[in-house]
């Protein structure tokens, strides 16, 4: 299926794990893909396996590097029609008052500043053209307490507020914005936490989980969102196990009742 032919995607965090699966899924369906991350060898390997792709070393917390990513993508592949903000870290595990404060903040910064800078860089072009889509990879850690990983959870929750606020700004300009949870995936990032001393001490249940999902599920969902068929769900937080056809059919109900979003409810 080549239903994304003509689309140009930027995928940050695209060198490994869920980001890599997303880049591969988009490329398999015909999109040109700019694969961005900090580790050059990884993004080059991903790009080399796709039919039309470039590898762009990028630290998403640095505005000048994000700007260069978008500029190079436009020059070599064409104007970006899709941004997938997938860069993230999980460096601080343990009590919030212990450990490295910079590591705690980095878990927030890479997720939130990274998504913001990337969206800020692609949106002028998308708004001018009256079309585009942004998908932010988040986690159910955004929706439930995450003791011993408060930096990670805070960053993921902030992403949900960012995307639903942004959706309200750009919907009438032809741009749709989504957050996606890939579920529990045993990526290298997660395995590093499981094996770490802090992970063994504070999150022993993580390594015992038997409900791991394949990263390809996230790739499939993002590719479906890229087609535009779910644009009526802009601003919503979707999970890879959701029935997208059902959600699209219920889009009016979901919007009317403000479902699939981060909300404070008193009853």
DSSP codes of every residue in 166-179 = HHHHHGGGTEEEEE
**Given CA atoms 244, 250, 256, 260 in this order, what sign does their dihedral have?**
negative
What mean pLDDT comes out for the span 167-192?
97
Tokens of 160: 């949900």
pLDDT of residue 146: 87
Residue 267's pLDDT band (cuts 50, 70, 90): low
99 domain residue, yes or no: yes
Tokens of 58: 């990028």
C-alpha span between 137 and 182 (Å, rounded): 7
3 domain residue, yes or no: no
**202-247 tens-digit pLDDT:** 999 999 999 999 999 999 999 999 999 999 999 999 999 999 999 9
Contacts of 121 (CB under 8 A, 6+ apart): 63, 66, 67, 69, 70
Q: Residue 179 is part of which domain span?
A: 8-256
C-alpha span between 109 and 102 (Å, rounded): 10
262 domain residue, yes or no: no
* Residue 260 designated active-site: no
What mean pLDDT comes out for the span 92-110?
97
> Has this prediction a pTM greater than 0.85?
yes
C-alpha span between 180 and 166 (Å, rounded): 15
Whether pLDDT at 23 is above 70? yes
Residue 197's pLDDT band (cuts 50, 70, 90): very high
Burial class of residue 244, CB neighbours in 10 A (0-12, 13-18, 19+): middle
The catalytic position among 152, 202, 260, 267 is 152
**247-259 tens-digit pLDDT:** 999 999 999 999 9
Tokens of 6: 């003509």
172 domain residue, yes or no: yes
Q: What is the DSSP letter of 143?
A: T
266 domain residue, yes or no: no
261 domain residue, yes or no: no
How many residues are there in the chain?
Answer: 267
Cα distances (angstroms) measured from residue 51 to each of 28, 55, 167: 8, 13, 32
Q: Report how far apart the first and last C-alpha atoms of the chain are (Å, whole number).
A: 45
What mean pLDDT comes out for the span 134-158?
94
**25-39 tens-digit pLDDT:** 999 999 999 999 999
Q: What is the mean pLDDT of the chain?
A: 97
Quickly list H helices, the chain.
Answer: 17-28, 40-48, 63-76, 101-129, 150-170, 188-195, 197-202, 216-226, 244-249, 251-256
Tokens of 151: 């930096």
244 domain residue, yes or no: yes
Determine how many CB atoms are found less than 10 A away from the CB of residue 176.
24
CATH number for the domain harbouring residue 242: 3.40.50.720
Longest dimension (CA), the chain: 52
Number of domains in the chain: 1
248 domain residue, yes or no: yes
pLDDT of residue 68: 99
Contacts of 193 (CB under 8 A, 6+ apart): 90, 93, 199, 203, 206
């Amino acid at each position: 299926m080549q239903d994304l032919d003509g689309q140009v995607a930027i995928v940050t965090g695209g060198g490994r794990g869920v980001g890599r699966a997303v880049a591969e899924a988009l490329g398999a369906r015909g999109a040109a893909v700019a694969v961005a991350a900090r580790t050059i060898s990884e993004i080059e390997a991903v790009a080399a396996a796709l039919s039309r792709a470039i590898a762009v070393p990028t630290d998403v917390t640095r505005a000048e590097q994000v700007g260069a990513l978008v500029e190079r993508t436009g020059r070599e592949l064409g104007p970006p029609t899709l941004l997938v903000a997938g860069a993230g870290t999980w460096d601080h595990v343990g009590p919030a008052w212990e450990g490295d404060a910079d590591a705690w903040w980095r878990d927030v910064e890479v997720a939130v500043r990274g998504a913001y800078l990337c969206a800020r860089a692609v949106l002028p072009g998308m708004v001018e053209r009256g079309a585009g889509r942004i998908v932010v990879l988040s986690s159910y850690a955004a929706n439930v307490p995450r003791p011993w990983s408060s930096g990670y959870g805070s960053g993921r929750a902030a992403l949900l507020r960012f995307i639903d606020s942004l959706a309200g700004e750009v919907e009438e300009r032809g741009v749709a914005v989504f957050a996606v949870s890939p579920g529990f995936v045993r990526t290298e990032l997660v395995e590093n936490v499981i094996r770490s001393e802090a992970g063994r001490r504070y999150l022993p249940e993580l390594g015992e989980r038997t409900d791991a999902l394949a990263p390809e599920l996230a790739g499939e969902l993002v590719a479906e969102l890229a087609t535009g068929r779910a644009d009526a769900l802009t601003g919503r937080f979707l999970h890879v196990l959701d029935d997208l056809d059902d959600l699209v059919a219920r889009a009016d109900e979901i919007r009317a009742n403000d479902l699939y979003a981060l909300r404070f409810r008193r009853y």
